[in-house]
Structure 1
Amino acid sequence: MTTTSQNRQTTSRTHSWVPPTVPAEVAELSGLEFLERLVDGRIAPPPITGTLGFRMTRVERGLAVFVGETGEHLYNPLGSVHGGYLATLLDSALGCAVMSELPVGRAYTTVQLNVNMVRPVFAGTGPLRCEGRTLHVGRTVATAQAQVVGEEDGKLYAHATTTCAVFPMR
């Protein structure tokens, strides 16, 4: 919706989400099984994906792929997509890549995220594809790397690495 007030145009964006819940069966699923259920819709996506406009499109052992849409609603004060959007997209792909290798009863959390942005993203950049791949998944520590590439232009926009703590699920 667009409105005009005091010579300023205002645009709004709304979205809906399913309230976040962790299904009881998550304790009986491997990380990959859980993520496969997210991708195929048997488990509702986390609300942040609707808020920021991205989704996981593919998952396999050691790999998580997300696609994000760009738009003005993601702009910083200088007129380009805020770096926090790219960091969140990267963190999501990195964490899910790690999760895809975890056995039943194990969980993870990000303890370090290193993001490098190599070119600005604008509303007209088009869809962004983010692929996260594991480098190492051990009993207590996991590492992964990811890249954000424009689906239409094939250009690299950002890349990142992560270190995650791996621990027993409660």
Structure 2
Amino acid sequence: MSPDPIALDPADGQPAIRYGVLPLHEVASVSGLDFLRGMIAGIYPAPPIAEISGMRLGRADEGEVEFEGAPTHAFMNPLGTIHGGWTSIMLDTVMACAVHTMLKAGQGYTTAEFKVHFVRPVFPSSAPVRAVGSVIHAGGRLATSEGKLYDARGRLLAHGTETCFVFDVPKAAAAA
């Protein structure tokens, strides 16, 4: 894919976020770290779930990522707090993307399991929240990571751990 010219958001001068899904072979054509940094730079689109859930990738380094998010009223439960599913989306995203930074070109991954510990309720006023994911161990086929979600005041809202299955992208996908 030849990247489109990068449009800047007039409000903050940062790359405007495009949303979309690329074919697996395109995503796997570069290292995981290069792909995520390309997403930050606006070269690659962010996935649609980022738009729906109100999250944005802010930093990607080897073994660590950081996202910012702001849940919308669509994620509120009857008690007026943000549904735990939104918190789980944020944590699954940062834990999985931390693993993504460790992938070589030609590799993919999927979440095998994750666990979330809810520490405090998330309110709409908790935003913007910050989520940080870090790799604990990156093996040949399994990688483990941890994630933490903080409110705008820096208080821990939730934390979790995750195991991802790392796989080679099938040659058929690369040729498609």
Shorter-chain TM-score: which interval? Answer: 0.7 to 0.9
Structure 2 CA distance for aligned equivalents of residues 53 and 103 of structure 1: 28
2:168 is aligned to 168
2:137 is aligned to 136
CA gap of 1:19–1:26, structure 2 versus 1, over 3 A, is closer
Structure number, greater radius of gyration: 1
Structure 2 CA distance for aligned equivalents of residues 58 and 70 of structure 1: 19
TM-aligned CA deviation for residue 78 of structure 1: 1.9
- Is the Cα contact below 8 Å between 2:148 and 2:160 reproduced in 1? yes
- CA deviations 1:31-88 (Å, max 9, x no partner) are 1111111111100110111111011110010001110013322201221000000000
Greater shift, 160-169 or 22-31, is seen at: 22-31
TM-score by length of 1: 0.85
SS of the equivalent of 2:111 reads strand
TM-aligned CA deviation for residue 157 of structure 1: 0.2
Amino acid at match of 1:168: D
CA gap of 1:134–1:18, structure 2 versus 1, over 3 A, is closer
* Equivalences for residues 1-170 of structure 1 within 5 A: 18-22=19-23, 25-150=26-151, 152-170=152-170
Amino acid at match of 2:49: I
- CA deviations 1:100-144 (Å, max 9, x no partner) are 011111111101110011110111122100000000011110000
TM-score by length of 2: 0.82
- For structure 1, which runs of at least 5 residues remain unmatched after alignment? 1-15
- Is the Cα contact below 8 Å between 1:62 and 1:134 reproduced in 2? yes
- The RMSD of aligned alpha carbons is 1.6
- Is the Cα contact below 8 Å between 2:71 and 2:86 reproduced in 1? no
